[in-house]
Amino acid sequence: MSILSSNYESGNFFDEMFVSPTEVRPHYQRLAGRLGTLAVAEFDQRRAAVDLAFLRRGVTFTVYHDDAGTERIFPFDLIPRVIPNQEWTRIEAGLIQRITALNLFLDDIYHGQKCLKDKIVPPALVLGAKHFRREFMNCTVPQGIYVHICGTDLIRDGAGNYLVLEDNLRCPSGASYMIENRAAMRRAFPNLFASSGVRPVEGYANELLKALLHIAPQRSDKPNVVLLTPGVYNSAYFEHCFLARQMGIPIVEGRDLVVRESHVFMRTTAGLEPVDVIYRRIDDDFLDPLVFRPDSMLGVPGLVNAYRAGHVALANSIGTGIADDKVIYAYVPKLIKYYLGEDAILPNVNTYLPSEPLDRKYVLENIEQLVVKAANEAGGYGMLIGPAATKAECETFRGLVAANPRNYIAQDPINLSRSPTWIDGKLEGRHIDLRPYILYGEKITVTPGGLTRVALRKGSLVVNSSQGGGSKDTWVLQGDQ
Amino acid sequence: MHLRILHRTTFTYAGKATDSFNEVRLRPLNDQTQCCRDFALQITPVTTANDYDDLNGNTIHYFDVPAAHSKLIIEAVSTIDTVPLADRAPVPSVLAAELENSPEREMFAEFYTSSHYVPLEVDLWREAHDALVDGRGDVWGDVRRLGGHIYRTFAYKPKATGVNTRANDALKLRAGVCQDFAHVHLGLCRSLGIPARYVSGYFFNNTRRPREIEASHAWIEAYIHNHGWVAYDPTHDRPADDRYVKVAVGRDYADIRPVNGTYRGAPTRSLKVEVTVRETAAPVLVTP
Amino acid sequence: MPAAKTPPARPQATVMLSRVAHSLYWMSRYIERAENLSRLLDVNLQLLLDFQGFTDTSIEEHWESILLSSGDEELFAQHYQTPDSRSVTEFFAFDPRNPNSIRSCVNAARENARMIRDQISAEMWETINELYLYLHDRNSKEVWASGGAGEFFNNVKRSAHLFQGLTASTYSRNEGWEFIEFGKYIERADKTTRILDVKYHILLPTASDVGGAVDTAQWQAVLRSASALEAYRRFYVSEILPWKAAEFLIFSDSFPRSLHFCVAQVDEFLRRILGDTSARPRTEAGRTSRRLLADLQSLTITEVLQEHGLHEFLEDVQKSLDTIGGEMMETTMFYPAESSADVQQQQQQQ
């Protein structure tokens, strides 16, 4: 019995693969053909092999309770998500447009603040924001680029339109899974790849390195690029090591670096080695105890001043967090218009801002029907999904929003699209999102595909790894089928 | 007034300190109320300092001392001319409503929202309303009355609080030093929506007794629509006049730390701060 | 506009961070230490079981000598009353208060390995992790109760050997390897001096005891503690003459646990680490190592026993090894600020 013969229910959602229970979308047909020849037992075998390989290779993330860390595989579903070329072209253009505008926004915010003076964004929202780094005002950044690496989360609504859910401009993660997932798919379905015209993602590390080299200070023709990690106890440590190895660059912790007269050096057995570019996977707060949190043991004293003096480059720059603040998110379409004179190619999800009186009234009165998010939390925490929550939970959030309206946004719940996912021996629809990775170097490149995250629990909309999410490989086709 | 100020900070370590990275905000500002004629910064062990200006216009000098040392001395000497109150533009009367509706107020959002040392909690809001129980008047008048309220109902007690005490804690204690008085005053002003900022600097005490301890001082400035920032000292219940020298401004103490740094080594054995503020001769004007 | 930069051709980063080098060094030292300790305890426990000629006093003396040679006798005295088989085993195998106990050593080795996890192979990490879990799950009561002391020590040794074997077969021969080998041999040399020193601390036997059964058994134990009994017999004759055993363990240039052999390795790897190919070493570590090696190449056992005294000689060797290790760390650390010192803040109130 082939895996496709189970009764698949699309439900009331946009299904990525099926137009109707009997009709597969054109860009999925080749895949469907292959899957149709696979018996359930064989499919399960390949699945088990992939899981084992992941565990062995250490493709894990770590969840820490007490001292012991449990290493978990980020569950991987073998059914890929397929995107035809014409859809991708539009996504790519929209992402490039968005990051261009956000970069201009950051440059403006940290210099003349014209968009505040022109009241495009209420000044109070920016000046009072947690991630607005006033210490970084009026500093020049190499090549004028603030955001070198961005992961933007996209979802599809009931009509199949792509919408931007949020941008991640500080330390976006997951690119390593994108690469490992692709490698796993190749091993599981070697023939299918050769004939499917799937665009490769393996060039990511190379593109990333190029983007990092692009911002190196002019000193040497062999710039020293390093990856700064918080260390083994960070849940994304695997990814840090993975990317460093793929790029062939050293991985360092804060204590391996030292600043001397505003230059940054690495402590090696052969002496102090100059550092030119730091790909930092540490948040601003912990970067430099002299300027930010003084209790941070992860950072490098004097690093900000070295950056300010132009002696070292950081990717992403300091202060990008203001642009992925969920409240600022609501203004991004306006910012695109303001800086580029264009309409946003990829629309936002309709968002209510409790900091505005009319929106606040609406949110407080209708909270049971809305999705409410804290402006600066990540990982799905600090979030209320009204329709799925208890009365008590709604009340709590009502209180939180009323007390601190600037720190929340609300959105109409979107019926996220679903993709067939292998659950307990049969194919079932599960909600997914998409995180493509955008690299801003000499050119802006968007890796074809990205990380498709899937909410594995039935009916759940939460896709984060720490809360029961998994991932799929993402195939962007060269053509349209 | 013409003033000469010496500010010397000495850290003595229990053992050796290494890899010392520091930022200091010791250079007096220049604006319509004062002009810093001369400034010199000397550090022992000898090291070069670079500087930059932050978004509030404060000058920050930064330097590092990598080698082992058992003492760090940071000495700043400045000469400043200050403008007497009588020569400054008078403060206009601005009503609370006018302030709230003024277009530029939004650009000062960081000065009327919560900050690290001044979280705008309900206690501060209540205190502000109690202090202005007769209702609000013009903004500057309210600022003065709030300052006076603190002056009358708080006790100046050096040991009651520490460098990390926040405004709401000081409010509960109803005691503290000038840093706390300033934080509370900020809390009260901000609770009423008045943009207000923390000022760090010095104060020339012309009634100083010979051995009386001098230190750096803290007060506040409030924003008056169509006028600018005007200073008030809640510790002494008076507007800041030409005896006051501003060094740095910010949302609260966290933005203006006079001396701030990290190092590796034994905990500090002692921290000594010496401040002297003296009148000096008027500058000689060279006529061509 | 700068020209587009092409990524450098190197496939792997060629610099070695000081912290990584030192973690490799200590990981290696701690594993070697645990291995030596297991063997020492195993052999001596076996000795006391096998040989009937020991009185209660001589048993206590025997354990005391082991404590004295380890240098941890004061620490032991703080927590235990009398040195006997059980208390000493507890102290050396499991006691967390003893930073040199087998369990403490394996903990430390694992922590160091964890810090540099990306440098070592998955098998290396799994082996060290399994040994850690094995020790975690056991305490001395269980070990004694099941009468499995011998099996326990064997398991520890085997794990350590497996780890070292995996390292030899999966770790690339680069700068990291040099630190691993340097650490292993410096530790081994130190432990060999202590194994030899055990015999010194046993009160000088009376004339009638010399060459007697107890004396011979003890020297046999010394050789066994260094896994040297068979090698000794192949080299000399089957009779165990104390001065010949000492000579073998100090001067043999072919037996891999002898001082001479170990220090030759230490010297070689130190030269590679410091990149010092000159005839006269340029660093304190290099000079100390060269001097020590020269002594081991040229002194005779008669000179050691008569002019220096065995104990004094061994103490000097230990001091030299300390200097070499310490100086190497200082030289490759790029600057010694990395210690227990925490970053402090300085602020003042207004």
Among the partner-chain residues C2, C17, C117, the one whose CB lies closest to the CB of A252 is C17
Beta bridge partners of B265: B17
Contact C341 B253 (CB under 8 A): no
Tokens for C256, please give them: 């891999």
Under a CB-based contact definition with an 8 Å cutoff, are residues C337 and B68 in contact?
Answer: no
Scored b (16 or more CB within 10 A) or e, A439-450 reads bbbbebbbbbbb
What is the tens place of the pLDDT at every residue in A431-481?
Answer: 999 999 999 999 999 999 999 999 988 888 777 777 778 999 999 999 887
Residue of A16, A59, A4, A83 whose CA lies nearest to A184:
A59
Tokens for C280, please give them: 């006269």
Q: Is the Cβ of C346 closer than 8 Å to some Cβ of chain B? A: yes
Tokens for A165, please give them: 């859910």
- pLDDT value of residue A388: 83
Residue of A375, A417, A423, A421 whose CA lies nearest to A400:
A375
Q: Is the Cβ of A244 closer than 8 Å to some Cβ of chain C? A: yes
pTM strictly above 0.90: no
Tokens for C138, please give them: 């056991």
- pLDDT value of residue B229: 95
Q: Is the Cβ of A55 closer than 8 Å to some Cβ of chain C? A: no
Dihedral angle of Cα C78, C83, C85, C88, to the nearest 10 degrees: 30
Distance of residue C330 Cα from the nearest chain B Cα, in angstroms: 15
Contact A124 B66 (CB under 8 A): no
Contact A268 C117 (CB under 8 A): no
- pLDDT value of residue B148: 94
Q: In terms of CA atoms, which chain A residue is nearest residue C9?
A: A248
Q: Which CATH class is domain B2-83+257-279?
A: mainly beta
Q: How many CB pairs under 8 A join A and C?
A: 84
Interface of C with B in 310-339 (CB under 8 A): 335, 337, 339
Rg (CA), chain B: 20
Please, what is the angle between helix A175-188 and helix A237-247, to 10°? 80
Contact B264 C346 (CB under 8 A): no
Greatest pairwise CA separation for chain A in angstroms: 70
- Integer Cα distance of C239 and C67 in angstroms: 28
Contact C347 B259 (CB under 8 A): yes
Under a CB-based contact definition with an 8 Å cutoff, are residues B183 and B253 in contact?
Answer: yes
Tokens for B72, please give them: 């760090």
Among the partner-chain residues C341, C346, C349, the one whose CB lies closest to the CB of B264 is C341
What is the tens place of the pLDDT at every residue in A81-119?
Answer: 999 999 999 999 999 999 999 999 999 999 999 999 998
Q: Is the Cβ of A281 closer than 8 Å to some Cβ of chain C? A: no
Which chains have at least 3 CB atom pairs separated by less than 8 Å from chain C? A, B
> Residues in chain B with pLDDT < 70?
211, 285-288
- pLDDT value of residue C52: 67
In terms of DSSP bridges, do strands B2-24 and B217-224 run parallel, antiparallel, or are they unpaired? unpaired
In terms of DSSP bridges, do strands A437-440 and A444-446 run parallel, antiparallel, or are they unpaired? antiparallel
- Integer Cα distance of C232 and C224 in angstroms: 10
Under a CB-based contact definition with an 8 Å cutoff, are residues B101 and B94 in contact?
Answer: no
Tokens for C185, please give them: 């041999």
Q: Which residues of B touch C349 (CB under 8 A)?
A: 161-163, 177, 179
Tokens for A187, please give them: 């091993």
Which residues of C touch chain A, with CB atoms under 8 Å apart? 2, 4-5, 7-8, 10-13, 15-19, 21, 114-115, 117-118, 122, 175, 273, 275, 332-335, 338, 342-343, 345
Task: Write down the CATH number for the domain with range B87-255.
Answer: 3.10.620.30
CB atoms inside a 10 Å sphere around CB B188: 31
Kindly list the distances between the CA atom of residue B283 and the CA atoms of B34, B42, B203, B246, B277, in Å, as whole numbers in the listed order.
Answer: 14, 23, 20, 20, 17
Residue of C17, C35, C172 whose CA lies nearest to C109:
C35
State the residue for tokens 């037992």.
Answer: A41
Task: Identify the H or E element spanning B231.
Answer: strand B228-233
Q: Which residues of A touch B109 (CB under 8 A)?
A: 123-124, 127-128
Name the amino acid, one letter, at B161: T
Distance of residue B204 Cα from the nearest chain A Cα, in angstroms: 31
Under a CB-based contact definition with an 8 Å cutoff, are residues A43 and A1 in contact?
Answer: no
Name the amino acid, one letter, at C146: S
Domain boundaries, chain B: 2-83+257-279, 87-255
Residue of C164, C186, C165, C175 whose CA lies nearest to C119:
C175
Mutate to test the interface with B, among A305, A328, A404 (most CBs of B within 10 A): A305
Beta bridge partners of A438: A150, A446
Q: How many CB pairs under 8 A join B and C?
A: 58
Quote the mean pLDDT of chain A.
89
Give DSSP secondary structure letters for A271-288: EEEE--EEEE-S-GGGT-
Q: Is the Cβ of C204 closer than 8 Å to some Cβ of chain B? A: no
Beta bridge partners of A264: A259
Q: Which residues of C touch B216 (CB under 8 A)?
A: 350
Which strands sit side by side in the sheet containing A371-374, from one edge to the other?
Answer: A351-352, A408-411, A371-374, A383-385
Give DSSP secondary structure letters for A189-222: -HHHHHHHTBPP-TTHHHHHHHHHHHT--TT-SS
Q: In terms of CA atoms, which chain C residue is nearest residue B235?
A: C350
Q: Which residues of A touch B54 (CB under 8 A)?
A: 134-135, 137
Which chains have at least 3 CB atom pairs separated by less than 8 Å from chain B? A, C
Q: In terms of CA atoms, which chain C residue is nearest residue A275?
A: C15
Give the sign of the dihedral formed by CA A303, CA A309, CA A311, CA A314. Answer: positive
Under a CB-based contact definition with an 8 Å cutoff, are residues B26 and A109 in contact?
Answer: no
pLDDT tens for chain C, residues 1 to 350: 333 343 333 334 467 899 999 999 999 999 999 999 999 888 888 887 777 667 777 788 888 888 888 889 899 999 998 888 888 888 999 998 999 999 999 999 998 998 888 888 888 988 998 899 888 877 767 777 776 788 889 999 999 999 999 999 999 888 899 999 999 999 999 999 998 888 766 544 555 556 677 777 778 888 888 888 889 888 887 777 778 888 999 999 999 999 999 999 999 999 998 888 788 888 889 999 999 999 999 999 889 888 888 889 999 999 999 999 999 888 887 644 444 345 556 666 66
- Integer Cα distance of B108 and B197 in angstroms: 10
Among the partner-chain residues B17, B66, B163, the one whose CB lies closest to the CB of C347 is B163
Helix (H, G, I), strand (E, B) or coil at B288: coil
- Integer Cα distance of B244 and A398 in angstroms: 47
Give the sign of the dihedral formed by CA B152, CA B157, CA B161, CA B164. Answer: positive
Mutate to test the interface with A, among C117, C343, C345, C348 (most CBs of A within 10 A): C343
Contact A134 B110 (CB under 8 A): yes
Mutate to test the interface with A, among B63, B251, B262 (most CBs of A within 10 A): B262
Distance of residue A317 Cα from the nearest chain C Cα, in angstroms: 20
- Integer Cα distance of A369 and A365 in angstroms: 9
Contact B110 A117 (CB under 8 A): no
- Integer Cα distance of B185 and B105 in angstroms: 19
CA C124 to chain centre: 19
ipTM score over 0.95, yes or no: no
Give yes or no for residue A230 having a pLDDT over 50: yes
Q: How many residues does chain A have?
A: 481
Identify the structural domains of chain A with CATH numbers, from first to last. 87-149+201-340 (3.40.50.11290), 351-411 (3.30.1490.270)
Residue of B288, B207, B206, B271 whose CA lies nearest to B243:
B206
What is the tens place of the pLDDT at every residue in A169-211?
Answer: 999 999 999 999 999 888 888 888 777 889 999 999 999 999 9
- pLDDT value of residue C3: 37
Q: Quick one: A159 exposed, middle or buried, by C-beta within 10 A (0-12, 13-18, 19+)?
A: exposed
Dihedral angle of Cα A137, A140, A143, A144, to the nearest 10 degrees: 30
- pLDDT value of residue B15: 87
Distance of residue B47 Cα from the nearest chain A Cα, in angstroms: 10
- Integer Cα distance of C133 and A349 in angstroms: 50
Distance of residue C115 Cα from the nearest chain B Cα, in angstroms: 22
Q: Which residues of B touch A310 (CB under 8 A)?
A: none
The pLDDT > 70 percentage for chain A reads 94
Tokens for A93, please give them: 């253009």
| Ordered alpha helix ranges (H), chain C | 18-50, 56-70, 73-79, 85-89, 102-115, 122-136, 140-145, 149-170, 175-201, 213-225, 229-235, 242-251, 259-274, 284-298, 301-302, 310-333
Read off φ and ψ for residue A291, nearest 5 degrees.
-110, -40
- Integer Cα distance of C132 and B205 in angstroms: 67
Q: Which residues of A touch C7 (CB under 8 A)?
A: 206, 209-210, 213, 247-248
Tokens for B80, please give them: 């400043």
Q: Is the Cβ of C340 closer than 8 Å to some Cβ of chain B? A: no
What is the tens place of the pLDDT at every residue in B251-265?
Answer: 999 999 999 888 888
- Integer Cα distance of A182 and C102 in angstroms: 44
Kindly list the distances between the CA atom of residue C19 and the CA atoms of A253, C30, C69, C335, C339, in Å, as whole numbers in the listed order.
Answer: 9, 16, 31, 11, 11
- Integer Cα distance of C178 and C24 in angstroms: 9
Query: Prior bond to B45 cis, omega within 30?
Result: yes
